[in-house]
Structure formats: structure tokens, C-alpha cells
Amino acid sequence: MKHMKKNIAAMALLAALLFPLSVGAMEPVPTKAPKTEAVPDNTKGLFVVIADADPMTQMMALVLAKETVLQGKSVQILLCGPAGDLALQKSREVMMKPLNKSPQMLMGDLMAKGVPVEVCPLYLPNRGKTEADLIKGVTVAKPPVIAQKLRAEGIRLFTF
């Protein structure tokens, strides 16, 4: 009888472990996360075309360019249309939060890090400006060179 009580107690304990009395007592079944394979990053850099006149849009384009540079990738910037005003020496600056910088200031930071900035060749003559009106370091783009840069392997195009 003594052995029978021990066997019944052991079986009750086993049953309690295998079949909990309430759902709340159940342990969650661990699930395995699906395996993800690392995708190789073949991107060498970005070619950023900014044409929008909105300072917030310009700033976001430049923030993404800055982050790309910080991640060790190349960046090239082409300013077209109203965004070409960023390259003028006396352009209107709008300070943007949270960086408390203007798009022109961020563009200058990028240029100091070696990022080339060009204006489209249609910009100056159609604004009544000359190369002398551009900030130091900004050049006029040459369409055959830009076309070649855009086709370069590993370069992604961002337009704003």
C-alpha cells in the first residue's frame, strides 16, 4: 500500500506537469525565429538629385546623404531647379530643428567631408547667374559626366 501511494503521488505529479489545470499555467511554446540570411550590401554610394524648393525636403535629402557618408559610402549631389538656390552665396537660409542648421549649413558640412556638389548646367543661365555667384566648391555639372556617374555600378539614385 505504501508503494502504491508513492506511485499514485508520482503519477499525479507527472500528470500535473504534463497537463496543467488552467491555460494560464501553461508555459508558452518557444518559437524559433525564421532564419534570415544577410543580404550583401553592394551599394557603393548615392547620387542625390535635389530639385525641390522646400527647405524641409532639402534638409531630409541632406540628412540622408550625411548618414550615408557616416556609413562609409560615397555621396554625390546634383542641385537642379529651385534647389540650385542652395548653391548661391546669398541664398535665404531656413534653420531646421532638431539640428538647428540650414540646408546650406548641412551641405557645407558634407562638402567639407569631400562630397561633390554640382548645379545642373541649366540653372545658372536660366536664373541670370554666373559661376561667380556660387559658393566656393560648388561646380557646374557636365551632362556626359553625370550620365556616366549615374550608370556606375553600385550607385543608387535618390531624387528629392
Per-residue DSSP letter, 88: B
Rounded to two decimals, the pTM is 0.73
The per-residue pLDDT for range 14-25, each reduced to its tens digit, is: 444 444 444 444
The CATH number of the domain covering residues in 45-159? 3.40.1260.10
Find all residues with CB under 8 Å of 20, minimum gap 6, and list them: 26
The per-residue pLDDT for range 36-69, each reduced to its tens digit, is: 565 567 789 999 999 999 999 999 999 999 999 9
